[in-house]
Structure 1
Amino acid sequence: MGLFFSVAGMAAAALIERHRQNTSEHGVTLSVFLLMPQFVLVGAGEAFTYMGQLDFFLRECPKGMKTMSTGLFLSTCALGFFFSTLLVTIVDKVTGHNGHGGWLADNLNDGRLDYFYWLLGVISAINLVLFTVAARGYVYKEKRLADAGIELADEETIAVGH
C-alpha cells in the first residue's frame, strides 16, 4: 500500500507542479494548500512502508537479533537518503546546461521540476512492480519451518514460562 501511495504522491506532485508552472506564466498566485495532496500521499506511503518493513524485519529475524533487525531497518532508510542525493546530483548534471537551468534550476520557473517528479514516479512504479514480484515468491519463516516439520514456540508462552 505504501509503495502505491508513493507512486500516486509523485504523480500528484508532477501534476500540481505543471499546474503551478502554467499559472505562474500568467501571474496567478496559488494557494499553499495545493501542496497538501502530495504531502498526504507521500506521508501515508512512508508510514505504510516503514511500518511494513519494520514488521517484516522483526517477524523474520531470529529471536536474539531483534535489535539488529531494527538497525538493518534504519540502515535501509539511510541508504535511501544517499540514493536520493545521488539521483538529484545525476539529474542535475544530465539535465543542466553549463550549470544553468535543467530540471532542477535555482529558479523554479526556469526548471522542469514536474519532469523530476515524473521520474520519481516511474522509479517508484518500477519499485512497486519489483517488490510485488519478490513478495509473491517469498515464503514466511513460519511456513518454511512448518514445511520442515519444526514448530515455533509462541513468544508470549516463552515469556510467561508455560
Structure 2
Amino acid sequence: MVVRMIPIWATTIIFWTVYAQMTTFSVSQATTMDRHIGKSFRIPAASLTVFFVGSILLTVPVYDRIIVPIARKVLKHPQGLTPLRRIGVGLVLSIVAMIAAALTEKKRLRAARLHGLTDDPTAEIPLSVFWLVPQFFFVGSGEAFTYIGQLDFFLRECPKGMKTMSTGLFLSTLSLGFFVSSSLVAIVHKVTANEPWLADNLNRGRLHDFYWLLTILSALNFVIYLVMCQMVCLQGQETR
C-alpha cells in the first residue's frame, strides 16, 4: 500500500518547486518595482507573501460553499472532489501561476527598458508591485487544494498503524520541492552561463524564460500525474 502511494508522492513534488519561486524570485522581482501605497507608505518586498494567506482564506470557503455542492451534483461523489482531484486542481493552478509570472516578468522588463533602467539593478521600475499578485494568488489557491488533497490522500491510503510515516511521506514533498528548485536553478545557471537567465541584475536576465521552463515542467508533470491517478484507480484505491 505504501509503494502504491509513491507515484502520487513523486508527482506532487513539482508543485512545491513552483511554490519555492514565490519566496525567492518573486520577492526579488518585488524589490525592483514600485511598492508605494500613497505617498509615504512603502510595502516591504517580502510581505507580498501575505497574498498566500489571503488566497487560502478565500479559496477554502469558496470551495466548501460553492465548489463542493456543485461537484457533488455533477460528479455524484459525497466528498465533491476526491483527494486526487483536489491535488489535480492544485497542479493546474500552479501551471496558471507560472504563466502569470512569466507574463508579468515580461511586462516588468519592458518597463525597465522604456525608462532606461536596464543597467541599474537598484533602480525602482515605475510598475506597480501589485502586478505580482496573480502569481501569489494562484499558487496560494493551489496550495489550499494540493496540501489538503495530499494530506487526505496519504492518511486515507496508508496502512493502519503507519499514519505518522504517511504524514512524513507527505511533508517530504515540501522539502524535496525546494531541493528540486535549487537543483534546477544550478542547472539553468550552468546551461545559460553565456547569457544568464537568472542574472544578479534581474533587468539583464531572462527570468521569464525560467518561469516558462517551470510551466512546461509542471504541464508535463500534470500529464504524468493523470497517468498515475489512472493506475491508482485501476488498483482499486478508494480515492478514485
Shorter-normalised TM range: 0.7 to 0.9
From 76, 79, 93, give the equivalent of 1:5: 93
C-alpha distance in 2 between matches for 1:80 and 1:39: 17
Q: CA deviation at 1:49?
A: 1.2
The equivalences for 1:1-162 within 5 A come to 1-27=89-115, 29-97=126-194, 101-139=195-233, 140-142=236-238
Q: CA deviation at 1:117?
A: 0.3
C-alpha distance in 1 between matches for 2:238 and 2:132: 43
Q: 1:69-118: per-residue Cα shift (whole Å, max 9, x none)?
A: 11111112211111111001100111122xxx500000011100000000
Q: CA deviation at 1:142?
A: 4.3
Partner SS for 2:114: coil
Give the AA of the match of 1:7: I
Q: CA deviation at 1:51?
A: 1.3
Give the AA of the match of 2:112: S
Residue 42 and residue 142 in structure 1: after superposition, are their counterparts in 2 closer, same or farther (change >3 A)?
closer
Which stretch shifts more, 118-127 or 42-51? 42-51
What is the RMSD computed on CA atoms of the aligned residues?
A: 1.5
Return the structure number with greater relative CO, CA threshold 8 A, min gap 6: 2
* Structure with max Cα Rg: 1
Q: CA deviation at 1:24?
A: 1.1
Give the AA of the match of 1:22: R
Residue 71 and residue 25 in structure 1: after superposition, are their counterparts in 2 closer, same or farther (change >3 A)?
same
Q: 1:32-89: per-residue Cα shift (whole Å, max 9, x none)?
A: 1000000001111122112111111001001211111111111122111111110011
- Name the structure with the higher strand share: 2
Partner SS for 1:29: strand
C-alpha distance in 2 between matches for 1:92 and 1:43: 27
Structure 1 alignment gaps of length 5 or more: 144-162
C-alpha distance in 2 between matches for 1:5 and 1:50: 13
C-alpha distance in 2 between matches for 1:62 and 1:10: 36
* TM-score w.r.t. length of structure 1: 0.82
Identity among equivalent pairs (%): 60
* TM-score w.r.t. length of structure 2: 0.56
Tell me the equivalent position of 1:156: none
Residue 142 and residue 116 in structure 1: after superposition, are their counterparts in 2 closer, same or farther (change >3 A)?
closer
